[in-house]
Structure formats: structure tokens, C-alpha cells
Amino acid sequence: MTPSRDITRLLDIMEALRQPETGCPWDVVQTFETIKPYTLEEAYEVADAIERGDMDDLCDELGDLLLQVVFHARMAEEAGDFDFGDVVEAITRKMTRRHPHVFARSDADTPQAVKLQWNDIKQAEKAERRDRRARRGLPEDADMGHLGSVQRSFPALVEALKLQERAAKVGFDWSSPEPILDKVEEEIGELREALAAGDKARVTDELGDLIFAVVNIGRHVDADPEMALRGTNTKFRRRFGHIETGLRSAGETLEGATLERMEELWQAAKAIERQLG
């Protein structure tokens, strides 16, 4: 098969890879569960390419992410559940339905009105989903409460942010960032107590509470905690790389360097960053 801009070529490739007798031995034995980690990984690689501003990589990574969609759709088709066409139909239906101000008559002409309209449509879709599942003899969704739309499969930071956003919609929220800072200090104190007591389970619990409170600060100052942490991770990589380079140029090694020596180079990296603005 030759490369093509036509999505049907990609569907044909996946079908060939999944053929039991003639396909790829690795692809044939995959399941939704075994492929799921790769789907998450590809989404993060898309985000990484965006952060680096690398359009060549972004094009490549979007292709990898699209392959994940095709892979899942193919496995569902083999099981008789749905196919790629159903996926496309579902999302086109959803997008046109949720944008009546673009594709139909609607009075929503401000961002606020669009958001209210969007939420009303989503509630109607949830009711239809319940009816559809009932007609198919499927049990009700396990999480149908106000927080039910927040997926447990999200990365923990994202899940925490989404839970807080959902709770805030009904008024369960802090009024400003300042009280949350007090909460962070309270959680740090409780974490110190747990550490002093040597209670590992409690340490884990208090650490989770502390992180949850920090996420809440990010939400209130409009700083996405996931992106903030990814930025810090990138900064840590850069500064640690400076340590490695500095040691190597001095004929030293990471393994042989003292913490004080590494801290000296770390501070030098920070000074360089300040000079560069």
C-alpha cells in the first residue's frame, strides 16, 4: 500500500493489520485495554509537540493519535459494536447539535449564551443516553450524579481540576485564591504530623489532600495545573541538563558529584535563565 491523504487507506491498513492469518502478530492480539495506554501516550505526545511549537512533530503525532482512533474503531467493528463511520457520524451529529447558533437558527450570540445553550444540549444528550442504554438492556451508568461526567480514567491532576470545576458550577467553591492558600498551609501541617507519626497510609492521604488544594489554586488563578506542572518538568529537565553539562566539562560525573556541587550548578542554571529573561 502507498501513502494516501484518503482516510479509507488508513482504514484498509488497519483492517489488513488485524487479519488473523495474514496480519501483524502484535496488532492481531491487541485489545481495548492493551491499546489504552498507547492512546493516552499519543495524546500527551501531541501536547508536547504543541508546547515545543514543532509543527513537523505535531503533524506526525496527530497521525499517531488518529491511528489510535482507527485501531479502537476497528476492534469495535470486529466485535459488532460500531465502526469508524459510526464514530464520525456520532461526532458530526454532536458538533452540529451543540452549535445551533452556527448550523441552525439560534439566539445565542454571545460566549455566555453559547455556554448556557451548550450545557442545556448536553443535559438533553445525557437523558437520551440513559434511554438508549435502557433500550439495549444495559445497566445505568455507575456515576450519574453531578460529578458523573468527570471520567475516572483522566490523569489525576486533570480529574481533580474537572471535579472542582463541576462542583463550582453549583456553588461549592472558594470565593478567592487566598483562603485556598490557608487550606494549603493546613494540609502541609497535617502532612507534617503524618510524617512525624510514621503513618505511611496517612502520609499518602494527606499528600493527596495537599495536591488537590494546590490544583484548586491553579483553577482560581486561571493556570491549568497540568500545563503548569508540565512547564516545571521542562524547566527541571533543562536545569538538570545544565548540571550534567557542567560536570562533564569539568571532568566530573553525576555519580561522583556531591549534592552541594550539583546545587551550585543548579543555581548557575537559574542565574542564566534570569539573564535571558
User: Which residues of the chain fall below pLDDT 50?
Assistant: none
Q: What is the pLDDT of residue 140?
A: 62
DSSP, residue by residue, 128-188: HHHHHHHHTTPPPPS--STTTTS-TTS-HHHHHHHHHHHHHTTT-S-SSHHHHHHHHHHHH
Grid cell, residue 205, equals 492521604
Q: What is the pLDDT of residue 128?
A: 75
Q: Would you say 147 and 167 are in contact if contact means Cβ atoms under 8 Å apart?
A: yes
Q: What is the pLDDT of residue 98?
A: 81
Distance of alpha carbon 239 from alpha carbon 264, whole angstroms: 11
What is the model's pTM? Answer: 0.59
26-80, pLDDT tens digit by residue?
999 999 999 998 998 999 899 889 988 999 999 999 999 999 999 999 999 999 9
Q: Would you say 187 and 180 are in contact if contact means Cβ atoms under 8 Å apart?
A: no
Q: What is the pLDDT of residue 139?
A: 66
Burial letters 199-219, b for 16+ CB under 10 A, else e? eeeebeebeebbbbbbbbbbb
Q: Output the CA torsion sign for 63, 67, 73, 78.
A: positive
